[in-house]
Chains A and B, each alone.
Chain A
Amino acid sequence: MKHRFQLQVGPVAFRIGSEWPQPIEQLKALYAGYPAPAHGLCDFTVRLEAERPWRRWLRPSVAIRGDYTLPDAVPMALAHGLLAAEMGMNLQMALGQKRFLLLHAASVERDGRALLMTGDSGSGKSTLAALLGERGWRLMGDEFALVDLADGRLHPFPRAVSLKNQAICVVEQIVGPQRLGPTLADTPKGTIRHLRPAEGAVARMGEPAAPALILFPRFGHARAVRPVGAAEVFVRLTQASTNYVALGEPGFDALTRLVTGCPAAAIDYPDTASALALVEELA
């Protein structure tokens, strides 16, 4: 394809091709400082192409395709091309990644101990991970946590953090604009702005860490901490996994090891300050 970019994120390399220059330029700026794929080999191909040939020029409409494609995915406006590229990478991981158990979760690490946070959209896990990443923790990822099928360690997957709506202002106050992508207004998920993780998180993208704690954060409630039983953690994580079923027995084994080896708690919080305090208390 005419416009292209290759990107290594943790153990995964992407090749992204686009029929328009804008999404590729935005990707290159957002991922400045990321290494090129080791030996030039890519795990997944993402294609941003016109939904119909004439939609390349006329009301441009970006269809997200690649090695793995959802047949009924809604195309996006060219103004949201960067988001389309991000979603394209997520799609390849969700449908095609079979080397790791994939959990829809944010993860951060300190002193070799990794903290996993998972919850529904709006639970605040991305925001929490982004803020912890600026306060002495290493951001491992805000979208997917990669559990090694062989040894159970978490592999970093530090893509740009997708900040939504109010979280954008919170992060803009502590991070310089050079680490932020363009503000994407009126996307299907509201306003979105991407944050490039801190330099240390990018530099250490090849270092896995042992999972030490699983949290289920929930935003908008009075401060509370509840224990969660292993069976419930297991079921909630099967729901948070995109490839648990597809992996079969190795997926079951990896999830069992994670759940039996790692304490878990549900935390409610009214604001980010109390969430950060809670995490420091529990970790």
Chain B
Amino acid sequence: MAVINVTAGSQAILTLGNTSALAIPGAAGSLSVPLMQDVTISTTPGTVRYSTLDATSSSAFTTVMENEVSFNMLVDDNTFFGLSNTTNSVANDGLWTTSNSKTEIFFSVAFEGTDTDDYYFSGQGFIGGLAPSASIDQAVWISPGSIIVNGDLSKAQVS
């Protein structure tokens, strides 16, 4: 048993690609979103509550999972606006164009880095929630972002 220490700078990684292979942590041609201040994976089952005449407390049953990845980042120009990449259209187009065109992407969130057997979550979805802001006090552009997950999150290990 051990906590997963992310302070070395190489553990918590959000990787994007237009194919599932390109979204594996550390994959050649993948887009690792740099300068993230935080990343959050929300994975919650939908529930419906109901009451019956013979119970003093409500009951519940589950419906479907609602999954989302959200993050805050310092805006990197190549990541936000795109940098020539012949294999990965997400890296080529950048976050904003991919979001604006509502293109479905593949992603992974590495928990432990890119070494063999390191755990990560993967899935596919749509980039949203971009809201870049700048002020003289913060000195740089900062933006939140999210991936609205389409379908399941899958647990996997780097092979």
A and B are interacting partners: no
Binding site for B on A (CB under 8 A): none
